[in-house]
Amino acid sequence: MSEGEPSQPTELGTLRADLERLSLKTAGGLSRARAMDALGRILPRVVRALWLPPFLGVGLALIGVSLPLGWLFLGVVLLGMGLVAWPALKEFLRPVGREEALAVVDQRLSLSGRFQTAGGYLDHAKRTPFIVAALEDACAWVRGAHGVDLVHPIEPLVPKRLAAHGGRAMFLMLVLLVLSPGPVQTRAQEFFQEVQDYLGTDEPAPLTEVATVPRDVPQATPLDDVQAKETKPAEPGSSADDEAGEVGEQEKESKGSTGQGRSAEANSASSNSSARGAPSDQAQPSKQPEKRAKKGKRQKAKPKRKEETRTRKTPEMSASTTGSGASKGSGRNPTASPWSSPEQAPVPDDSEIDEDEEIDDDEEEQESRGGIQPSMRDRRPPVSRDLRIGFGNRPSPDANGRGGPSQQKKSRGVASLVLGVPIPDRVKGRPGPGRTKVTQERVRPEAEQAPLQAARTGTARAHPEGHFPELDLDPWLRGMVRDYFRRLRETSSSKPN
């Protein structure tokens, strides 16, 4: 049916029923079409989402984590169905009004709003001649509209390519489902099980047992790390020389030659000489490794103390150890009483340990300044120091303010750079020249003699200039000007009218 073919006119009385029937018929089709349209919009996304479970399963399997693929697949399918069904249902249930339905019929049949107009004017109280004519005009078309199929063309919901995608995804999913083992215990679960088994024994392993743990055991877990820190006898990376040095020092300690049992003052006063004198038979290339070794030994000694307190109930086992560093730098004499007796065993004190470290740091600082310096803690005033200014009003000839009755000391080194050293001023000129004085004289102005300047002669243009062509700016210049004015407009508060 086209616009140029109206059917036989019907009565105005039946127009209402005809339009009602037409709108109901169209509304049903419209709801279905909308629902299908919503399906068509969402379904491709859901089909694409079907690739997610297989890819997720394969990806996680590659990194050693297995998922219940069946459940995942089922979840995605159910979620997708929900996502598809809800909008479609919403569109299907959305009410379609008569006017809307008639507008659709007008569009379908190219009636230029005839039915919509008739539907609007059917209940109009005051019908003008033109309204009646419009209603009659609609009557001429309504009969023909009943015979026309108003079903909306429904396009395939999922394009073929997309459907193939979905099929492939489902096939891959099925293959994975078949190939995957039944109940899978994840690696993480295994690991936690192992950890729990391991932690099942409350007591820590004995020291000797821990010491016999092979050093090349990989430190796989943080827990192992902690264990190793607690029971580590020596760093695996430390060299054999260190071990030899340790043994040597243990021997020295037993002889009392390492000076570790001395007081802090004594240690600070003579540590340098002892530090340098002791290694004469050890052929150490420099003092730095020695220092590092000493520090390492100190650090190692701390856990040892803890172990000792933990294992002092088994003296027969710890008898093989040397007991080095038990009272290092603490001012107590470890040899005064047998260390192995539980009553006399010193309780490790953190404050003492800190004090030790402070002294060591001082030594390090002094050494790092470029040489051994005398300890500043025990410095005393010089024997003779004359700081007197003078005798009465007369200045003392010997006083130099720098301690000691001696001549003026030459400055050298850093002291020479300090601004306190007088430097002769070499800037020439008169300091403070004073105000500028201007003298004014009352003089009568006189005319100067000068040649007259001839005016420029201008002539009229021979030909009219004509129309200037419109200035055609280069694109870049036009863009720049446009941007400038646009920014100018944006910043200005008033909007152009």
Chain residues in the site for other proteins (CB under 8 A): 12, 30, 33-34, 99-100, 102-107, 112-114, 116-117, 120-121, 127-134, 136-137, 467, 482, 485-486, 489, 495-497
Task: Give bridge partners of residue 391 from the DSSP assignment.
Answer: 394
* Residue 478: CB minimum distance to other proteins, A: 9
Q: DSSP string covering 191-258, please?
A: HHHHHHHHHT--SPPPHHHHHTS-TT----SHHHHHHHHHH-SS-TTS-HHHHHHHHHHHHHHHHT-S
* Residue 461: CB minimum distance to other proteins, A: 20
**Is the CB of 106 or the CB of 253 nearer to other proteins?**
106
**Is the CB of 13 or the CB of 237 nearer to other proteins?**
13
* Residue 491: CB minimum distance to other proteins, A: 12
* Residue 75: CB minimum distance to other proteins, A: 35
Query: Which residue in this structure is represented by tokens 């953190």?
Result: 350
Task: Give bridge partners of residue 394 from the DSSP assignment.
Answer: 391
Task: Give bridge partners of residue 390 from the DSSP assignment.
Answer: 395
From the number of C-beta atoms within 10 Å of its C-beta (0-12, 13-18, 19+), residue 328 rates as buried
Cα–Cα dist 327/206, whole Å: 24
**Is the CB of 130 or the CB of 476 nearer to other proteins?**
130
* Residue 126: CB minimum distance to other proteins, A: 10
* Residue 458: CB minimum distance to other proteins, A: 28
Query: Which residue in this structure is represented by tokens 């990376």?
Result: 237
**Is the CB of 120 or the CB of 159 nearer to other proteins?**
120
Which amino acid is present at 341? Answer: S
**Is the CB of 459 or the CB of 492 nearer to other proteins?**
492
**Is the CB of 171 or the CB of 484 nearer to other proteins?**
484
Helix/strand/coil for 110: coil
* Residue 156: CB minimum distance to other proteins, A: 19
**119: nearest Cα among 93, 94, 151, 145:** 145
**Is the CB of 107 or the CB of 344 nearer to other proteins?**
107
**Is the CB of 50 or the CB of 101 nearer to other proteins?**
101
* Residue 128: CB minimum distance to other proteins, A: 6
Cα–Cα dist 340/337, whole Å: 9
End-to-end CA distance of the chain: 51
Cα–Cα dist 148/125, whole Å: 31
- SS percent in the chain: helix, strand, coil, step 5: 55, 0, 45
